[in-house]
Structure 1
Amino acid sequence: MNKTAPVTRKQTLDKDLDKIVHVEEAASVLSRNLIAPGLGLLFLAFAGIWSSFYVGAGGNAVIIIAAAAIGAYMALNIGANDVANNVGPAVGAKALTMGGALVIAAIFESAGALLAGGDVVDTISKGIIAPEAVGDPTHFVLAMMAALLSSALWVNLATWIGAPVSTTHAVVGGVVGAGIAAAGFSAVNWPMMGNIALSWVISPAIGGVAAALVLLFIKTTIVYQDDKIASARRWLPLLIAFMAAAFTTYLVTKGLTHIISLSGMTLLAVAVASFFIVWALSHVHIRKQSEGMENRNQSLRKLFNLPLVISAALLSFAHGANDVANAVGPLAAIVSTAQSDSVASHVDIPLWVMLIGAIGISLGLLLFGPKLIQMVGDQITKLNPMRAFCVALSAAVTVIIASWFGLPISSTHTAVGAIFGVGFFREWYTANSKRRKAYLARKNGGQLKEAEKVEKRVTAEEIIRRKLVRRAHVQTIVAAWVTTVPVSAALSAAIFYVLTFVS
């Protein structure tokens, strides 16, 4: 027995040490998981403190400080959820690493919000709710605060469960619900709501059709050509130049209007000049990059990596311009009403308010964005650089056009519509394209029937699998789209009644 006693003590000591190690590991993991929420809370406190320097110590200072914190909370959630649609395709296609995507999106989201977000902010802040219908400034301020808080809570919940939802839907639903609670159905600008609702239907359709057309163009002119590399050298620079012309036109007409004002012909000349300059530069780059490449699709995909990165940056810029309104539009209305003690017919956007939105979106992306980026990039459908480029380019152009007209469309609808457009088009093209069958016949020595047999063996199971992936996710996505507006509206109305009772 004396011989076994030390062994027993040693085993007990080992078990105790193992327990301590496991506890330390668990504590370390838990502390890492708390870093992002902790930094988020610090940003909310910073937004409130920062706003206090601009509003002074008046009677409504507490309301404005609280609204600034809620606006910052909404901005964080926009970055965590909605930005995934911009860079997710690039990450899923492995054209960007997660770290690179986060940095690019943060930079261009902030630039879009600060340079080109004004018109959409104006639409959100006073286009949905008729201020004169609410009348009482206090009720109007509480309605905007309820709208901000309800939409932020809903988007936060959606991010936590891994569902990409439209933050535009959430904030518009919140504004409508609070407006109805404050002054009845007459307070809502229903014609404006009709236009916004119509854009929610049109935007995914336009995004899907545009993405399908771009993919058709790429397949027809590059993929199913005998000399793929030569075709890519000819046509890919044109796609990049088109994207550059669209970006230049948007930036000049929306982001730089306070610096320069161009006539229609001058603007056209600037767009054409940017087209040819970028075409020349990209032509040289593509030719140099393609030297020595094998004539196969795997090599061809590498040529799309840089254009895909550029298009992701463009889409991030457009998203920042369009969706910053969801955070700072109601906040700007609150600040204007609280400071003037009257419901203003025109809302000026203070720079410090716009900065809260821009910084919050970027910070939310960096702290909480990777989860949704992985979902959008990997789990909706299989993407390679060519398909992802089609998605990003078509979604970017759609969002840019909508923001150009000051219409707050859903970038989520547009991007997801583009993804499904690519997927459904590929299904149709695989089964029906005569050009594709002719290409396969040439590739197999003119044996069309043999080529079709090989194609059926190779792709039938893959097509079924891809269909199942899309259709499995479409129910979740549509359910999220349908649920967001009524849930945000109901939650906003409830919060408004609570705020009214407390105040």
Structure 2
Amino acid sequence: MSDQDGANDWKTLDRDLGRLSRLEAATMYAARPLIGVGLSLFFVGVAALAAGLIVGGAPGGLFVIIAAAFGAYMALNIGANDVANNMGPAVGAKALSMAGAIAIAAVSESLGALLAGGDVVNTISKGIVAPESLADGQVFVTAMMAALLSAALWVNIATFIGAPVSTTHSVVGGVMGAGIAAAGLGAVNWSTMGAIAASWIISPLLGGVIAAAFLAFIKWKVIYVEDKIAAARVWVPALIGLMAAAFGTYLAIKGLSHVATIGLGKALIFGISVGLICGAIAIPLVLRQAEGMENRNRSLKILFRFPLVFSAALLSFAHGANDVANAVGPLAGIIHAQQTGGAATEVAIPIWVMLIGAAGISVGLVLFGPKLIDMVGNQITKLNPMRAYCVALSAAVTVITASWLGLPVSSTHIAVGGVFGVGFFREWHAGRRSRIINENRPPAQRLPVEERRRRKLVRRSHFLTIAAAWIVTVPAAALLSAACYVLLSQFLV
């Protein structure tokens, strides 16, 4: 064999190996989603197996096992969809890497669920269905299973299309649909449903306006002053104190209220005390960090980075404490009904049920959370630490404001509304400055009106997709739940 033939053979082998490498890479890329699905099914199976080992051969044990699988599936979807609202802004602002955000959120969500998730949970969510309409134990169990399955399916669909939706509203829709299928339209408390529908508008508007107001304040007092660092030394500790006060109150309302009776007044006193302490501690820390910093916006981003990360962790803790009930509430109700033979509006949560909820949220976050985190943090509008900080602060302040006014709100809608609020404020502010600059230019150098209008800072496609998903969440979950109730009735009753 000549040297030329040998060289040709090696080239052919290299080409074949290259094709195999590309095929292997393509196969691994295509199999990535299947790995997540496989691990999810494994977790659901483990939850069902754990339920089987705990309930054993008790009457109705099969119903509990199936319900545990549905509850685990719902918890996975909460982690995949809802947690993005807390961590997305921090990731978009480059204050956290995706891996860091997932790690912090997984720990915070689990701690919130296990430490402050509550001993008692409302099974018929938000009082939207008359308890007497589901008084029969078997009807109640079937309705709760339908509500769990339908809510999980809807949140799964929303995650797939890239829309962050309210898991609480999904469960509300599921309970409503099952209640209608079981007892007719008269079983639903329509005034309560009207208040929940109003929250579709109230939550994002409040969150957006408050986030925009905070951003306007930071621009006015810190960014657009001659000595930015001197202004930051004054206002960053004050904003940290305000953040601590807001989150102290927020956690007292949304988290600590599960383990102790805390009214709004006591929560405010607790929050203000925490805020004053944290603000005082922040003063020397900010002064030390600001030493030698250049008088530019990049330095301000560094000063806001730690408060932003801390606020994201607190939001995740409060979310775990509050929203774990969406996964384990109906499951706990089913277990109680199987043990006592009757339905109950409020029941105690067994520790193993809470563990399924906490673990499911974390597993769902790790497997599927990055998609929604990236969408909220990077694809709606461009965020930096100051803007993302305004979103996080807005979430806490809006919940407190809504509680004081007695308005029903959704934490998901508030957080995403805050992102939109920051983006639309920047768009308005940039347009205003552009008009002023344009008017001072010679006519030949002015930008056309159409060109200035084209320069949008918020992606309209995401805005429309998310708004549509919010509007259809309750009716879509209700329709799915009614269908699930009819199907489950055929097999379980």
> TM-score with structure 1 length normalisation?
0.87
Change (3 A) 1:257 1:140: closer
State the partner residue of 1:316: 316
- 1:196, 1:407 within 8 Å by CA — same for their partners in 2? no
State the partner residue of 1:501: 490
- 2:255, 2:318 within 8 Å by CA — same for their partners in 1? no
CA deviation map 1:334-374 (0-9, x unaligned) = 22212211112432222222221121111111111111111
Match runs of 1:371-410 below 5 Å: 371-399=371-399, 409-410=409-410
Separation in 2, partners of 1:99, 1:65: 33
State the partner residue of 1:338: 338
Separation in 1, partners of 2:148, 2:406: 20
- The alpha-carbon deviation at position 38 of structure 1 amounts to 2.2
- The alpha-carbon deviation at position 398 of structure 1 amounts to 2.6
Match runs of 1:202-241 below 5 Å: 202-241=202-241
Separation in 2, partners of 1:9, 1:429: 65
Separation in 1, partners of 2:172, 2:265: 37
State the partner residue of 1:276: 276
Match runs of 1:9-408 below 5 Å: 16-118=16-118, 121-122=121-122, 125=125, 127-252=127-252, 255-256=255-256, 270-399=270-399
- The alpha-carbon deviation at position 183 of structure 1 amounts to 0.8
- The alpha-carbon deviation at position 49 of structure 1 amounts to 1.9
- 2:241, 2:276 within 8 Å by CA — same for their partners in 1? yes
SS at match of 1:369: helix
- 1:121, 1:324 within 8 Å by CA — same for their partners in 2? no
Question: Comparing 395-404 with 185-194, which one deviates more in the overlay?
Answer: 395-404
- 1:119, 1:406 within 8 Å by CA — same for their partners in 2? no
SS at match of 1:212: helix
Question: Comparing 140-149 with 34-43, which one deviates more in the overlay?
Answer: 34-43
Change (3 A) 1:30 1:228: same
- 2:47, 2:69 within 8 Å by CA — same for their partners in 1? yes
2:476 matches 1:487: yes
Separation in 2, partners of 1:11, 1:259: 71
Separation in 1, partners of 2:108, 2:83: 11
SS at match of 1:419: helix
Separation in 1, partners of 2:353, 2:401: 25
Question: Comparing 18-27 with 412-421, which one deviates more in the overlay?
Answer: 18-27
- 1:321, 1:403 within 8 Å by CA — same for their partners in 2? no
- 1:85, 1:416 within 8 Å by CA — same for their partners in 2? yes
Separation in 1, partners of 2:154, 2:265: 45
- 1:123, 1:408 within 8 Å by CA — same for their partners in 2? no
- The alpha-carbon deviation at position 426 of structure 1 amounts to 2.7
Aligned residue pairs, count: 491
CA deviation map 1:129-182 (0-9, x unaligned) = 222112322122111111111111121122123222222222211111111011
- 2:202, 2:409 within 8 Å by CA — same for their partners in 1? no
Separation in 2, partners of 1:116, 1:401: 22
CA deviation map 1:466-498 (0-9, x unaligned) = 34x332322111111122222211111111111
Change (3 A) 1:338 1:398: farther
- 2:102, 2:365 within 8 Å by CA — same for their partners in 1? yes
AA paired with 2:159? T
Change (3 A) 1:5 1:452: closer
Separation in 2, partners of 1:135, 1:185: 16
- 2:155, 2:170 within 8 Å by CA — same for their partners in 1? yes
Question: Comparing 82-91 with 6-15, which one deviates more in the overlay?
Answer: 6-15
- The alpha-carbon deviation at position 206 of structure 1 amounts to 1.3
Separation in 2, partners of 1:478, 1:167: 15
State the partner residue of 1:466: 456
Consecutive unaligned residues in structure 1, runs of 5 or more: 441-447
Separation in 1, partners of 2:450, 2:318: 38
Separation in 2, partners of 1:466, 1:345: 48
- 2:250, 2:396 within 8 Å by CA — same for their partners in 1? no
AA paired with 1:290? A
- 2:120, 2:349 within 8 Å by CA — same for their partners in 1? no
AA paired with 2:104? I
Question: Comparing 304-313 with 251-260, which one deviates more in the overlay?
Answer: 251-260
SS at match of 2:348: coil
Change (3 A) 1:345 1:91: closer
Query: Over aligned residues, Cα RMSD in angstroms?
Result: 3.5
Separation in 1, partners of 2:326, 2:172: 8
Separation in 2, partners of 1:348, 1:403: 25
